[in-house]
Amino acid sequence: MTTPAAPLSQDELKTLVGQAALKYVVAGEIVGVGTGSTVNKFIDALATIKDQIPGAVSSSVASTERLKALGIKVFDANEVSRLAVYIDGADEIDGKGYMVKGGGAALTREKIVAALADRFVCIADESKRVGVLGDFPLPVEVIPMAAAQIARRFESMGAGITAQIRMKDGAPLVTDNGQQILDVRGLKIAEPLAFESEVNQWPGVVTVGVFAHQKAAVCLLGTSQGVQTLEY
């Protein structure tokens, strides 16, 4: 009798999808690179084919440092007019490819780099797949002087909704752009496109972590059965 194989850990699933994303990298083209622990696995895999690409456009200081440490050239976003592909993780992804992102506080630059790309390839383990967005606290990057006003606006959207400034080492976390993050709990985002458009208009909002207008075209989902490719 053979012993059944142990289920893959979340870390192993991240490695699997990070490696699977290599097939979406176009030889000779600069690749857009997201941020987070899953993307770190992708960056490690990308280093094995670095001679096939001119380099990357990065969505955070953390990813830039990792890319450079592995010998991958990093281009400024202003140096490129288009990317074939942007590869990034997500905190939640629904059945249409709409996502919540920004758990790593990099949402603004992630949206900027994603906007340059023809195709967003999301890499995620199966814990990120949801029916309706909102269980993960929604990150919103805000101008600090507007934080309390924006928090009140969210909290007035319904009972049980709370918005708190993300803290780090006892002080508000400061993003790569010098701003703050509000984490909003208790939302059910049934209409991601309308929700993103609405919150984007509020004064002081830099970026809302709903990626609906820039949704995933493909999700490589790490599951106990292997990597599932979902297209939207």
Ligand X SMILES: O=C(CO)[C@H](O)[C@H](O)COP(=O)(O)O
**Footprint of ligand X (CB under 6 A):** 34-38, 88-91, 101-107, 110
Question: 124 or 146, CB closer to ligand X?
Answer: 124
Q: Judge whether 35 and 59 are in contact, CB under 8 Å.
A: yes
For residue 164, how many other CB atoms are within 10 A of its CB?
Answer: 13
In angstroms, the CA 152 to CA 97 distance is 29
Identify the residue whose tokens are 């979406």.
Answer: 24
Could you tell me how many helices (H) and strands (E) the chain has, helices first? Answer: 6, 16
Question: Taking the complex as a whole, how short is the minimal distance between the CB of residue 102 and ligand X, in angstroms?
Answer: 5
Question: 32 or 89, CB closer to ligand X?
Answer: 89
Question: 101 or 215, CB closer to ligand X?
Answer: 101
Q: Is 50 annotated as a binding residue?
A: no
For residue 20, how many other CB atoms are within 10 A of its CB?
Answer: 21
Q: Is 135 annotated as a binding residue?
A: no
Q: Is 131 annotated as a binding residue?
A: no
191 tagged catalytic: no
Tell me which of 79, 92, 110, 196 is the catalytic residue: 110
Q: Is 38 annotated as a binding residue?
A: yes
In angstroms, the CA 167 to CA 216 distance is 29
- Binding-site residue positions for substrate: 35-38, 88-91, 101-104, 128
- The residues assigned a catalytic role are 110
